[in-house]
Amino acid sequence: MKHYTDYSLLRHNTFGMDVRASHFIEYSSEEELQQLIPQLSSLQPLLHIGGGSNLLFRADFEGTVLHSAIRGITAVGGDTDTVLLRAGAAEVWDDFVAYTVREGLGGAENLSLIPGEVGASAVQNIGAYGAEAKDIIDSVEAISLRTGEKRTFGNADCRYAYRQSIFKQELKGQYAITHVTYRLSRRPRLNTSYGGIRDQLVKMLGADRLGQATVATVRQAIIDIRREKLPDPATLGNAGSFFMNPVVPRSQFLALQQQYPDVPHYELDDGRVKVPAGWLIDQCGWKGRNLGSAAVHSRQALVLVNLGGATPADILRLSDAVCQSVKQKFGIDIRPEVNFI
């Protein structure tokens, strides 16, 4: 176990905010975490982080930041069609995806290159290119930060929805996820219908050889698309999509479509319509614009970036200004996807 005081969080948030935590504790096994529980009451408030890729610290954190160092990927079962892989919460998500692809297993490849760790995939229900973590999560092992008791959540217990789970709602802050077990397919069915994947595959393989695509080629196509559009946090601080895509009633969408016939959208099963926040922000003219050291990314308006030395206040000022513009122009409220701490 590692315990630091007055600890810099610069390396633990991809936005690159230079903030500090009163305490930072990293544990490397379930037992270490359980031993720690009795002390936690005097170290409140607690914040459990993963890769820090979906956080915006508003200020120094006057409490204890917990981080798991539980790693390892092991096959724990399966059947003729599937394999169950159990991964430690601190495995880097994309290393896990790369592992599944090397093994020729299907289900995770569309989620390639998403920043963060395995534990967060189960909290946040990460998603991209027509896939979500919930589609492959079999179960989630977690330890109560109050009692130290271990609990295993089946997929349905996690109440997954778009970027939502029980761990972000009813049980927010109450459990530390230690392991996630995913069910991967031995006979991958490739999902190439979303957002330019096919075009990228045609570029890579040629139109007549599309049938030869594998999980590895789809992973490469997605990596190429993401690298093209999304800034690399190692060089430009950011937390991926800063906003969630708003969902509007059909009547409101139809009115919007009358005015903007080309508005991109996704139909939901309940009749409502999801409109890309990136498009709304782009239409407001924000793409590539900055307020001080905080900017709207020049290739994807959904992403706010730290041009260097931005403070939390700079990012919040920009976020507020962007939300106001979208509200004024379209009458639609957009909400941050990033967690404000």
Q: Which active-site residues does the annotation give?
A: 163, 241, 337
Q: What is 264-278 written as a DSSP string?
A: --EE-TTS-EE--HH
Chain residues 120-149 in contact with ligand EPU, contact rule CB under 6 A? 128-129
**Of 225-264, which residues contact ligand EPU (CB under 6 A)?**
240-241, 244-245, 264
Is residue 64 a contact residue for ligand EPU (CB under 6 A)? no
Residue listed under structure tokens 């996807």:
337
Distance CA 265, CA 261 (A): 11
Nearest distance from C-beta of residue 115 to ligand EPU, angstroms: 8
Do the Cβ atoms of 318 and 291 come closer than 8 Å?
A: yes
| Alpha helix segments (H runs only) across 90-163 | 93-102, 118-124
Closest contact distance (angstroms) between CB of 283 and ligand EPU is 7
Structural contact between residues 341 and 62, judged by C-beta atoms closer than 8 angstroms = no
Q: CA dist 118 to 158, 239, 244, 263, Å?
A: 15, 16, 21, 34
Only one of the segments 10-18, 32-40, 300-308, 310-318 lies at the binding site for ligand EPU (rule: CB under 6 A); that segment is 300-308
Calpha distance 89→70 (Å, rounded):
6
- The least distance separating ligand EPU from the CB of residue 119, rounded to whole angstroms, comes to 16
Considering the complex, what minimum distance in angstroms separates the CB of residue 160 from ligand EPU? 14
Closest CA to 144 of 168, 178, 118: 178
- For residue 305, the minimal CB distance to ligand EPU (Å) is 13
| Residues 281/243, Cβ–Cβ less than 8 Å | yes
Q: Binder to ligand EPU among 14, 300, 306, 319 (CB under 6 A)?
A: 300
Looking at 63, 148, 195, 292, which residue binds ligand EPU (CB under 6 A)?
195
By CB under 6 A, is residue 206 in contact with ligand EPU? no
91 close to 72: Cβ distance less than 8 angstroms? yes
The contact pattern for ligand EPU, residues 93-112, with x = CB under 6 A and - = no contact, is --------------------
Q: Which residue's CB is nearer to ligand EPU, number 184 or number 222?
A: 222
Contact 65, 21 (CB under 8 A): yes
Cβ-based neighbours of 16, under 8 Å, separated by 6 or more: 10, 233, 237, 306, 310
Q: Which of 158, 180, 302, 341 binds ligand EPU (CB under 6 A)?
A: 302
| Residue 289 sits in the site that holds ligand EPU (CB under 6 A) | no
At its nearest, how many Å lie between ligand EPU and the CB of residue 69?
A: 24
Size of the site for ligand EPU (CB under 6 A): 17
Positions in the binding site for ligand EPU (CB under 6 A): 128-129, 195, 240-241, 244-245, 264, 276, 278-279, 282, 287, 300-302, 337
